[in-house]
Amino acid sequence: MNRTVYVNGEYLPETEAKVSIFDRGFLMADAVYEVTSVLGGKLIDFDGHIVRLQRSLDELEINNPYTREEWLNIHRELVQSNDLVDGGIYLQISRGAPNDRDFVWPDPEMTAPTVVLFTQSKPGLANSPSAQAGIKVISIEDIRWGRRDIKTVQLLYPSMGKMMAQKAGADDAWMVQDGHVTEGTSNNAYIVKDGSIITRALSNNILHGITRAAVLRFADEAQMKIEERNFTIEEAQQADEAFITSASAFVTPVVELDGQKISSGAPGSIVPRLREIYLEESMKTAI
């Protein structure tokens, strides 16, 4: 594969793209990111991702080097130059590379943020096997830091969680804090009971998913009942259906939790319908 990637103002072959060893993203996970899905060559929920990017940057006092239009142009240029049909665009901004390692933040006037974007091709993304069959999830303790609402590249624990899931013969993990599910390692978590969609309320304990916001909006418009509240693993195991949402998984059914089947152990009726609505509606505003 030789993608064209974006690094600090330049479009380059991926093999020629370079970032300093002093980059604070590399040394300290001092960086934020976004993943925007691409379907049929179009960006899904682009504005939602750019708004959240700004929020993450503001929380960490990193300057946003570009306007929305500039971000859009870079995204579109990458889609085009890589002939991207289905997949996603990964965007990362770090606090930049001062000329040494130091815990203290560098002066933003002297050190510009490092900006990196690249494409990831996933042909047939909207019809993935996991969307048809559903995924198996295990529960693990949520031991991440307290600002999970900021989309930082501090992803070691989520990555370990995916490995724990893999070792247990599952696909992913839901994290649990004080007896309640926070979210999945890279997605938001939901259950469905008696027609009601139940998901944890927004706080600093979870990432404010862009897909979450869209799915809850569409569900509300379709007159579905929504409860934003905590739930336990036991409640989830007794639920009628369960699912996750993210920019890359859209709406994906969860059919097993800690080895216990949810209902029949196959996707129900509400979650596949929600996925259909989500894909249909978000394609309407794709740009």
Residues that bind ligand PDD (CB under 6 A): 35, 183, 186-188, 207, 209-212, 245-248
Q: How far is the CB of 158 from ligand PDD (least distance, A)?
A: 6
Q: How far is the CB of 164 from ligand PDD (least distance, A)?
A: 15
Q: Nearest 10 degrees: CA dihedral of 167, 172, 177, 182? A: 170
Q: How far is the CB of 210 from ligand PDD (least distance, A)?
A: 3
Closer to ligand PDD by Cβ: residue 114 or 187: 187
Closer to ligand PDD by Cβ: residue 23 or 183: 183
Q: How far is the CB of 217 from ligand PDD (least distance, A)?
A: 13
Q: How far is the CB of 147 from ligand PDD (least distance, A)?
A: 12
- Contact by Cβ (8 Å): 277, 218: yes
The DSSP code for 69 is H
Q: How far is the CB of 7 from ligand PDD (least distance, A)?
A: 20
Determine whether 151 is an active site residue: yes
Catalytic residue, chosen from 18, 42, 122, 151, is: 151
- Contact by Cβ (8 Å): 199, 152: no
C-alpha atoms less than 13 angstroms from C-alpha of 161 in its C-beta half-sphere: 22
Closer to ligand PDD by Cβ: residue 210 or 255: 210
C-alpha–C-alpha distance, residues 256 and 34, integer Å: 29
Closer to ligand PDD by Cβ: residue 25 or 98: 25
- Contact by Cβ (8 Å): 157, 144: yes
Closer to ligand PDD by Cβ: residue 114 or 186: 186
SS3 call for 268: coil
Closer to ligand PDD by Cβ: residue 24 or 52: 52
SS (H, E, C) 97-164: CCCCCCCCCCCCCCCCCEEEEEEEECCCHHHCHHHHHCEEEEEEECCCCCCCCCCECCCHHHHHHHHH
Neighbouring residues of 284: CB distance < 8 A, sequence distance ≥ 6: none
For residue 194, the tally of other CB atoms under 10 A from its CB is: 8
Q: Would you name the residues annotated as active-site residues? A: 151
